[in-house]
Structure 1
Amino acid sequence: MKLTIEDVRSRFIKHFDGQTGSVYTAPGRINLIGEHTDYNNGYVFPGAVEQGMIAEIKPNGTRNVDAYSIDLKDRVQFSLDDEKGPNATWARYIYGVCREMMALGVPVEGFNTAFAGDVPLGAGMSSSAALESTYAFAINDLFGENKIERMELALVGQRTEHKYIGVNCGIMDQAISCLGKAGHLMRMDCRSGEIEYFPWHPKGYQLVLVNSCVKHELKGSPYNERRLQCEHVAEVIAKKHPEVESLRDATMEMLDEVKNEITGAEYKRARYVIGEVVRVLAVCEALEIDDYEKVGQMMYDTHYGLSKEYEVSCEELDFLNDVAKECGVTGSRIMGGGFGGCTINLVADELAPNFKKVVVEKFEEKYGKKPIVIDVVIGDGARKLC
């Protein structure tokens, strides 16, 4: 069920003596293509979704924030001037955003707030970025005398993750949550920060997420390992081609030149990244001429690369990808870091009902649990609702 203003307002009124404030929202996201490219200075291609966070906020005339998480049924109070902040992780997101906005010179005052979200957890749709973006936008609107640009608000969210949560994330999730546009996907150059919007009006097609609801526990740090592998290959290539600063600058020919100087695993990782940079640009070109069959093929190619070359898939995600092929789905791939989570699927309208039915039945038959099917509508970024 879609989260509404009334869902949040009713709880705000209950917990804050019948008062009402201003209501803000920011979305979660999908990423159509461009996975594991961000830390290789490549491109990502996300879109904001209708699901997100909604928060009601009212200044309270103090230096304290009184926050209520509707979903967790938990209430936390903290002072804006406290150097340590609250212990509860969810409250630290709000605290971190407040502190980072204060660092930018925004005269943040105390407020009461209640919030809830309908971003599915574990689906790689970035509920944390939606939370950060909601409060960054709201604080800017309520207290900012000189309004801060949206990209800087996204950076506030990223710094919150780094400094107050301990997650060394990239900028994609916060950027699309702040800068998303309904009916458009956003290509972001992870080196320069440049963004460009591309129309998303797939007549005859729809986007469907299938959440496997599994997440495999991993030994070691596979993401860090892959990042180091990519950086090492770029360094080896740069000895012959000094213009190569990262794998984003490399070509398959350059990679083949150094094949005997790197490990087999490194070769596969680099092959995937170089191919993915090309695929993102190909998808952008295809969208400009409404070639959704090309978009779909690139998605399948990405899944193959993530599964066989980057090796971040798992049995369940590969199974979902196979079912998509069997059902005639135009494009399907892992979305997110991998090892669990969901697939994103580009499905022709006439095939969608059967695909949704079959994928649930087959997955439950094989794994004993139902996946969650989520219809995707591309929406707007952070905004005030009332």
Structure 2
Amino acid sequence: MDTTQIRSKFAELYGEPGILFTSPGRINLIGEHTDYNGAFVFPGAVDKAMVAEIRLSGTDRVRAYALDLGESAEFGLREEDAPEQSWARYIFGVCREIQKRGGKIGGFDTVFAGDVPLGAGMSSSAALESTFAFALNDLYHLGIEKMELAKIGQATEHNYIGVKCGIMDQFASVFGQAGKLIRLDCKSMEYEYHPFDPKGYRLLLVDSVVKHELASSAYNKRRESCEAAVAAIAKRHPEVKFLRDASFAMLDEVKAEISEEDYKRASYVIGEVDRVLAVCEALDKGDYETVGQKMYETHHGMSKLYEVSCEELDFLNDLAKELGVTGSRVMGGGFGGCTINLIKDELYDRFVAEAKSRYEAKYGRTPKFYDVVISDGSRRL
């Protein structure tokens, strides 16, 4: 991302230059709705990011300017100083969460901007939180571990934005490495890097540009379904604390005791746990055909068993399959947003052209396309 505009705005507002920091958005190759089931996710950082210029001011006030919005905010660092603007609450929340952990910080001046597309499920909010958590840790020499920086971002969402998110987005933003995806165990918080260097293939997000108003209530209902299945299984198998601990055989034992809906939701999750492990193994061998096959299986599960897809996403997935795209699935919580597609180079142009014309003809909207390159996480520029 070009930082010239950030630099010039910072000079105009505050005079002396600051230091540039950045954190990326993320994709998740596979492992959807698995985080709250104690299982694995498989994200990577992308080449689209938030960038902030920051200079410590020696005061107890933060002066912030959101370049993309053309808005400024100023606030103190006590709980009662919370700013009105939602974008400023992310920065304020990070400051407060650092302070709650004993980090001594003061005021600063900042200008920030980003090229993480909004609403495409690449997690621009996590990129923003991670940028400021990483920067303040660096500038104040706080010595906070990287995993704790991710948790600071997550706690900001919970306590200052009101979103009960998992840890994946912030984790991927902080821990990302170019050419690698990260398998994170959401139960133990152990993680490992796997190579992602698909020679002859490209990763493409297709944004359906729809968001159906279902997401939060539907999300909570699906969590409840998973918890109901775990409670039934745990009566027979007390070692099962999350669905990731359960097998299809255990689920079948309780089929008569739970609703048909709960059974379907749980069977999706148990299948998804297996798929993530299969994809890790395939990537280690450079077997991208298997990776693609598992992506299609995940889409089918999210559409038919977990029921978090929508007509537009199913259309894009069917089209990918028809045109011979290696892998495609809905990415993120569902009900709109993007499909993530693993495409052979030689199919790329045709797929983009067909997806654009056919989607426009059917839905009267133009989808957006984002090429994805797996990149590094939070850092000083």
Same fold by TM-score greater than 0.5: yes
Letter in 2 for 1:304: H
Which of 71, 75, 85 lines up with 1:74 in the alignment?
Answer: 71
Confirm or deny: 8 A CA contact 1:58 1:111 kept in the other structure.
yes
Which of 227, 230, 247 lines up with 1:251 in the alignment?
Answer: 247
Which of 19, 23, 45 lines up with 1:22 in the alignment?
Answer: 19
Specify whether residues 260 and 81 from structure 1 end up closer, same or farther in structure 2 by C-alpha distance, changes over 3 A only.
closer
1:86 counterpart residue number: 83
Confirm or deny: 8 A CA contact 2:215 2:335 kept in the other structure.
no
1:6 counterpart residue number: 4
> Matched residue of 1:49: which SS?
strand
- State the Cα deviation string for residues 310-365 of structure 1 (Å, max 9, x = none): 00000000000011011110000000000000000000111111111111111111
Confirm or deny: 8 A CA contact 2:79 2:96 kept in the other structure.
no
Confirm or deny: 8 A CA contact 2:120 2:338 kept in the other structure.
yes
1:95 counterpart residue number: 92
- State the Cα deviation string for residues 132-155 of structure 1 (Å, max 9, x = none): 0000000011112x4111111001
Which of 177, 198, 203 lines up with 2:199 in the alignment?
Answer: 203
TM-score (norm 1): 0.97
1:222 counterpart residue number: 218
CA distance in 1, matches of 2:355, 2:79: 50
Q: Which runs of 5+ in 2 are unaligned?
A: none
Letter in 2 for 1:66: R
Aligned counterparts, 1:310-329, within 5 A: 310-329=306-325
Say yes or no: does 1:287 pair with 2:287: no
Letter in 2 for 1:102: Q
Confirm or deny: 8 A CA contact 1:122 1:341 kept in the other structure.
yes
Specify whether residues 344 and 219 from structure 1 end up closer, same or farther in structure 2 by C-alpha distance, changes over 3 A only.
closer
CA distance in 1, matches of 2:321, 2:278: 21
Letter in 1 for 2:349: P
Count of equivalent residues: 381
CA distance in 1, matches of 2:324, 2:73: 49
Q: Which runs of 5+ in 1 are unaligned?
A: none
CA distance in 2, matches of 1:317, 1:15: 44
CA distance in 1, matches of 2:319, 2:9: 42
The runs of at least 4 aligned residues of structure 1 exceeding 3 Å deviation read none
> Matched residue of 1:67: which SS?
strand
Say yes or no: does 1:105 pair with 2:130: no
TM-score (norm 2): 0.98
2:130 counterpart residue number: 133
Letter in 2 for 1:317: L
1:234 counterpart residue number: 230
Q: Quote how far apart the aligned CAs of 1:218 are.
A: 2.1
> Matched residue of 2:359: which SS?
helix
Say yes or no: does 1:212 pair with 2:224: no
- State the Cα deviation string for residues 247-269 of structure 1 (Å, max 9, x = none): 10111111112111111111110
2:114 counterpart residue number: 117
Confirm or deny: 8 A CA contact 1:26 1:382 kept in the other structure.
yes
- State the Cα deviation string for residues 7-34 of structure 1 (Å, max 9, x = none): 3112212222x32100000000000000
